Amino acid sequence: MLERSRREDQERLKTQQTAQQRLLAKQAEDDRRRVEQARLEQKKLEQERANRDEAQTKLTAAKAKRDAEAARQQAEIQKKHQREIEEAAAKLKAAEAAYQAEVAKKGGTVKEKQDKQ
């Protein structure tokens, strides 16, 4: 009877150990799944961040290109306006010289005529 009781105790202990081992194995598997899920989630977040960064880089590059093109066009417009101003000034100077020459032919400068009046 003592031996039978001892065997029952050993079997009960073995059953408890087996149950504990199963529980620990299940917890280990659950932990492994959680770690894997967290790793996959982190990888997904990093990919999304990389995609956002790439898109932002493309937008920044496109804006820089547009800004450079606008600056180039503005510089061309200013250069054209400056050239037109210089041409107009040269024409004015030539017209004044021609007028002064014509006045000189007719006898005196414009200033002299204005002073006489």
Q: Residue 53: inside a domain, yes or no? A: yes
Q: By residue range, what is the domain housing residue 26?
A: 2-110
**Distance of alpha carbon 37 from alpha carbon 43, whole angstroms:** 10
Q: Residue 22: inside a domain, yes or no? A: yes
Indicate the number of domains in the chain: 1
Q: Residue 72: inside a domain, yes or no? A: yes
Q: Residue 117: inside a domain, yes or no? A: no
**Distance of alpha carbon 50 from alpha carbon 71, whole angstroms:** 31
Q: Spell out the alpha helix ranges (H) of 1-117.
A: 2-105, 110-116
**Distance of alpha carbon 87 from alpha carbon 95, whole angstroms:** 12
pTM: 0.51
Task: Please write the tens of the pLDDT for every residue from 21-75.
Answer: 999 999 999 999 999 999 999 999 999 999 999 999 999 999 999 999 999 999 9
**Distance of alpha carbon 56 from alpha carbon 28, whole angstroms:** 42
Q: Residue 71: inside a domain, yes or no? A: yes
Tokens representing 83 are: 């050239």
Q: Residue 115: inside a domain, yes or no? A: no
